Structure formats: structure tokens, C-alpha cells
Copies of this chain bind each other. A is one copy, B any other.
Amino acid sequence: MSMKKEKPLILLSNDDGVNAKGLNELIRALRGLGEIIVMAPDGPRSGASGSITSEHPVRYYKVREEEDLTVYKCSGTPVDCVKLALHAVVPHRPDVVIGGINHGDNSAVNVHYSGTMGVVIEGCLKGIPSIGYSLCNHLADADFSALLPYIRRITEEVLEHGLPAGICLNVNFPDVAEFKGVRICRQTNGTWEKEWKVCTHPRGGEYYWLTGQFVNHEPEAVDSDHWALNHGYVAITPTQIDVTAYSIIKDLKNWKLDV
């Protein structure tokens, strides 16, 4: 499974856009590890999930170029960025695809809404070892400095070992100054509640802002990613692209489904 080469090719994207601090901190964490190519959205795409652009065409532009670093911005979604980078700008197949560093938590069920994990799942679907990095702090000026050595270490391990086909990593960092260590976790079971803030339009009628509170259904589960984050650990949740619910196949075969 080793993908080790003289100089690894590292493809980065995110969902907070090309100007986000998290992306630039990710570049800082990885400089020197290989050749870095960035294809990031030209503005914020938080909550983009695995969305793709089908109704409009997509464009991209070079933003800057330094030794072993080329940055592009793209008019599409985070997934579009990965697809377009692989088609149009990489000199050869990347050794790793990385999403982040996200300004905000992508643990638990948030994986289903996350544009950062959209990047990562797309890299994984293309057969490339892929990692998402997120910090549980959504502020634009969040402090990412404690994350950088961990990000470098985890990325080095992925470059060294590779990842099995169809499996990627969702790495979340608690918003603390010092981490207690790293835990390998499973996705926490929970639900978003109180999701809408209602406002009244100046010309009448109501509009709704998506917000909400995450309710953890298993706060005591020590193997869950939320437990790790709540206790000061870096949470690595390995994530798979096969979403088949194998456990129910046998039961479903007994349903009366023919007409």
C-alpha cells in the first residue's frame, strides 16, 4: 500500500474558500513534505457536502505560484475542485488528497453536510488516500497552531502506509491549546435540533437561517469521536464510501415487494 516517492504530490482543497486561514495554515503544516497543489473554491462553501455543479459550467484560475506550491481558485463546489484539479492541473496522480483545515467541527453526523469531507470522499472515490482536517472552532481567525505538528505527522503516516481502497480519514481537533493525544474513533450518533432561526422580512413574510444545537445521543461512549473531542483528544474517524447497510439485507429479502 505504500505510496512513498521522492517527492510526494499533495492536492489540497477546502470548503471555506481559497482565502480561509485554515487552508493557509494547512499549507504551512505541509510545506517541505512534497509538491503542493491547491484547488479551492473562490468563496465560502460551508455545508456543501458532496455536491457537484450540474446546472452551470465551472472555471478555475491560478492565484499564485511558489517553489513546490501552486494555488488555484475555482468557481465550483469542493468536490468540483478535486475533480477539476485531477483533470486539468496535476502533473500526475496525487499521493494524497487533503481537505481543510476546516473552520468548524466535522465529527459525528456532520460528515454528511461537510464540504471538507466532500473533498475527502471525492479523493477516496478516485482511489487516492485522503484526509480531512477540521478544528472545532468556526471563527475566521481561529488559532490553528497546535494542530500543525499533528497534521504533519498524520499526513506522513498516510503517505507512508497508504489507506485501504474506499477508506479515508476524518480528523477533528478539539478547540484546546494542548491535546491529550490521538484517538481512533467511530462516528458519534446524535441529532441536530432547534435548527431554524426565524426572521421577518422588511416587506413582510418570514425567512429562515439554518443554525441549531447538536444533541449527542451517546455522551458516555468512549470510542466515539465526540467523546474524544470533549475530552481534549484529537479524533481520527476512519470513514468509508460503501454506505450499504449490510445488517438489514437478510430481513429485507423477506418483505413482500413484488407487485
Would B208 and A58 count as touching, CB distance under 8 A? yes
Would B210 and A83 count as touching, CB distance under 8 A? yes
Would A157 and B49 count as touching, CB distance under 8 A? no
Please, what's the 1-or-0 string for A111-138, where 1 marks a CB less than 8 Å from any CB in chain B?
1110100100100011100000000000
Would B150 and A241 count as touching, CB distance under 8 A? no
Please, what's the 1-or-0 string for A237-254, where 1 marks a CB less than 8 Å from any CB in chain B?
111111111111100110
Residues of chain B with a CB closer than 8 A to A206's CB: 59
* Cα-based distance from A57 to B50 in the complex (angstroms): 21
Within 8 A of B (CB), among A16-65: 44, 46-55, 57-60
Would B126 and A259 count as touching, CB distance under 8 A? no
* Cα-based distance from A157 to B255 in the complex (angstroms): 7
Query: Which of A5-13, A91-99, A179-187 lies at the binding interface?
Result: A179-187
* Cα-based distance from A236 to B252 in the complex (angstroms): 9
Q: A207-B57, A210-B80 are in contact. Are A166 and B189 (CB under 8 A)?
A: yes
Shortest C-beta distance, A101 to chain B (Å), equals 16
Of A79, A113, A207, A210, which is in contact with the most chain B CB atoms at under 10 Å from its CB?
A: A210
B184, B196, B238, B241: the one contacting A83 at CB < 8 Å is: B196
A195 at the interface (CB under 8 A from B): yes
A199 at the interface (CB under 8 A from B): yes
Chain A interface category by residue count: 35 or more
A87 at the interface (CB under 8 A from B): yes
Would B51 and A49 count as touching, CB distance under 8 A? yes
Residues of chain B with a CB closer than 8 A to A237's CB: 244
Would A244 and B186 count as touching, CB distance under 8 A? yes
Copies in the complex: 2
The SS class assigned to the A binding surface is: mixed
- Return the chain B residue nearest A57 by Cβ: B207
A257 at the interface (CB under 8 A from B): yes
A167 at the interface (CB under 8 A from B): yes
Would B258 and A83 count as touching, CB distance under 8 A? no
* Cα-based distance from A237 to B249 in the complex (angstroms): 8
A219 at the interface (CB under 8 A from B): no
* Cα-based distance from A88 to B234 in the complex (angstroms): 37
* Cα-based distance from A207 to B80 in the complex (angstroms): 13
Shortest C-beta distance, A107 to chain B (Å), equals 11
B205, B210, B239: the one contacting A58 at CB < 8 Å is: B210
Residues of chain B with a CB closer than 8 A to A44's CB: 54-55
4 A-B pairs closest in CB distance: A49-B50, A238-B245, A240-B245, A47-B52
